[in-house]
Amino acid sequence: MNLSINVVRSVLNLYSEMLNNNSSLVYMGEFTHQITKMFTSMANEEMERNHEEASTRRKVFHVMVETLQNMNKHSSDYSEKSSAGSGLFIIGKKGDTYYVITSNRVSNDKVENLKKSIDKVNASSKEELTSMYRKQIKEGKLSEKSGAGLGLIDIARKTGQQFEYQFIPFDQDNSLFILKTNIVAH
């Protein structure tokens, strides 16, 4: 039995996009602790095979864990029963830069605060990020109005890179949140 032309086109498009963007791991579905562990293990094994420096492997690992936790935290698909959200996760490498892309639905009422948090982190110097990080650790949780989340601050501190992001209207109550983090290999 032959596949439908639509299925073939979809697979070819996906395959082509993955090759063009050097994506090594793509997953869509629920993100549990076990799945996060599996992804980080797979990515680490691939980086070891490619003789990547330990410092780069640690940064990529850290970014993967933090972005997946953020995705769970902000996902409108979060399930208390499984303690997991759902979404899309992509990791790849172009040139000397690894990238981690996550995408998930977020409630429209969270979009503005999330934008402000990311913009605040992106606009901060290394010193300001360190200060924000220390304040967050010392005081526990910053209010949503006064700062970004610890995970975003820590990723920006460790990678030295700005976040790329976009919110795309999804339905009446949610937007699709796409976040890209770059990690330059040494």
Q: Are 170 and 176 in contact (CB under 8 A)?
A: yes
Structure tokens at 36: 């996060």
Instruction: For 14-29, write each residue's pLDDT tens digit.
Output: 889 888 888 888 888 8
Q: How confident is the model at residue 33 (pLDDT cuts 50, 70, 90)?
A: confident
Q: Which of 26-30, 45-49, 163-167, 179-183 has the lowest mean pLDDT?
A: 26-30
Go through the domains of the chain in sequence order and give each one's CATH number. Answer: 5-184 (3.30.565)
Report whether pLDDT(84) > 80: no
Instruction: For 118-166, write each residue's pLDDT tens digit.
Output: 999 999 999 999 999 998 888 865 444 444 588 899 999 999 999 999 9
